[in-house]
Amino acid sequence: MSYRIVALLAVCASLLLSQTSPESQSELAALRDAVKASQSAGDNAWMLMSSALVLMMTGPGLALFYSGLVRKKNVLGTMMQSFVMMAVITLVWFVCGYSLAFGEGSRFLGGFQFAFLQGVGAQPNSDYAGTIPHQTFMIYQLMFAIITPALIAGAFAERVRFGAMILFCTLWTFIVYFPAAHMVWGKGGLMNAFQNGPIPVLDFAGGTVVHITSGFSALVCAIYMGKRNGYPSEPMKPHSLVLSFIGACLLWVGWFGFNAGSALASSALATSAFVTTHLASAAGAVAWMLAERIRTGKASALGAISGSVAGLATVTQGAGFVAPYAGVIIGFIAGFVCFYMVTVAKNKLGYDDSLDAFGVHGVGGLMGCILTGVFATRAVNDGLKDAAGQAMPLGLVDGNSQQILNQLAGAGIGIALAVVGTLLCLKLTGLITPIRMEGREETEGMDLTLHGEEGYNFEA
């Protein structure tokens, strides 16, 4: 049947081409404009939906996931850490953040031509997304800037002052996030593979920009601030795995906007990233449960949701570059390795990463960066072209072993930026305001001490 459709289309095309009158040409031009407008409308609808999904990952997703893992005296304080990023980073992004990340500048940071969103309107910016309004691209990227510092909060949960957390995260977005985003995704960036960056790193949805930077920054914060009072001798069990379970499910759903949305169009590539993301999350959950079953004889709910998030974080870098089978492999590796980091390595090394931001996002992001160099293939993403217009080989499976070295270099730059930048932000924050809560305040809890309210009032 398909050959008949092709033949019919060929006949129609011939008839249209044979009509050379000005009226016919005008009709053809109008038809082309209508097709273009239809594509733009579809892409824009998908990207606005993806923007909402990524915002949902921070609130309520991350807010519920993290708050359920702390003790009940810190539930509101932990939720506020995610929520306040939605407000503060939005305003920073409006003033100059978007411009510093995606404006033209150096190899390391953008300029100020988009400050206060000047020139960011309804027309597409062909440097980034040619079928959606520039403003849509801007708001989509904002959601990544919001969740990245919010992820770090998992490392110093239950012991950081609210004001210090806001100051630190604001400084961190300037010193770490904006340069990382520009280097990997911005025009002229050092590691932008699609704009001839000197170190072409493949990062589809933020494995380096989001997970490596936030994860390794989390480790620095955990070591710098020290352990919670009583850790690890006193039990500090999650007060509500129900909240965390709901939050993890919202993260899983929201991650489709995170990864599939990074195709920046309602396209087959978005579908591929969607499928790969889902498979990796499922594989991560199963792997973590298997590891728990082998080690303790039981598969826990906390383990299942932790494994799913590990799979999601690890596949983020390669979601739009790797085939579905690779997503399954990446998810399984993530589940087993992140399980080891959270349950064994953390105890041996003795740091108090309260909610395992490093063990899941830092380690997962690093693995995902490297594995993208292995499994990335032009069969999935043919966006990189050579001088003759042919799709270039991407990863090791395409015969390009050099990409693994590129990915390692990108990961190294991301880690170095995160470690040095985080230390600088902590030092600057400490010069302005105390960072850690006092012993009495920590014992009483963040909710009453910092916010004057309680998450649960059973006497009412």
Structural tokens at position 359:
């063990």
Task: Output the pTM of the full model.
Answer: 0.92
**CA diameter of the chain:** 86
Mean pLDDT of the 360-373 span: 98
Lowest mean pLDDT among 31-40, 45-54, 322-331: 31-40
pLDDT in tens, 217-261: 999 999 999 999 999 999 899 999 999 999 999 999 999 999 999
Q: Does position 310 have pLDDT exceeding 50, yes or no?
A: yes
Q: How far apart are CA 89 and CA 172, in angstroms?
A: 11
* Per-residue pLDDT band at 7 (split at 50, 70, 90): very low
Using CA atoms, how far residue 367 sits from 199, 256, 312, 318, 329, in Å, is: 18, 20, 12, 11, 12
Mean pLDDT, all residues of the chain: 93
- In DSSP terms, 391 is beta-bridged to 385
Looking at residue 13, what is its pLDDT? 52
Res 33 pLDDT > 90 = no
Looking at residue 141, its amino acid is Q
Q: Sketch out the chain's domains with CATH numbers.
A: 44-451 (1.10.3430.10)
Q: What is the pLDDT of residues 100-124, one digit of tens each?
A: 999 999 999 999 999 999 999 999 9
**Is the CB of residue 65 less than 8 Å from the CB of residue 248?**
yes
Contacts of 393 (CB under 8 A, 6+ apart): 378, 399, 400
Average pLDDT over residues 44-56: 98
Please choose, from the candidates 369, 358, 275, 364, the residue with its C-alpha nearest in 3D space to the C-alpha of residue 323: 275
Mean per-residue pLDDT for 381-392?
93
Question: Which has more confidence, 14 or 364?
Answer: 364
Q: What is the pLDDT of residue 16?
A: 54
For tokens 């399980």, name the residue. 339
Q: How much of the chain, in percent, has pLDDT values that exceed 90? A: 88
Task: Provide the pLDDT for residue 110.
Answer: 98
| pLDDT at residue 329 tops 50 | yes
What is the pLDDT at residue 1? 41
Q: What is the pLDDT of residue 458?
A: 78
Residue 153 · residue 140 · CB < 8 Å: no
pLDDT in tens, 155-171: 999 999 999 999 999 99
Average pLDDT over residues 328-332: 98
- Residue 43: strand, helix, or coil: helix
Distance of CA 236 to the CA centre of its chain: 28
Q: How confident is the model at residue 40 (pLDDT cuts 50, 70, 90)?
A: confident
Higher pLDDT, 416 or 457: 416
- The per-residue pLDDT for range 395-441, each reduced to its tens digit, is 999 999 999 999 999 999 999 999 999 999 999 999 999 999 999 99
Q: List, for residues 171-223, the tens digit of each pLDDT value.
A: 999 999 999 999 999 999 999 999 999 999 999 999 999 999 999 999 999 99
DSSP structure class, residue 177: I
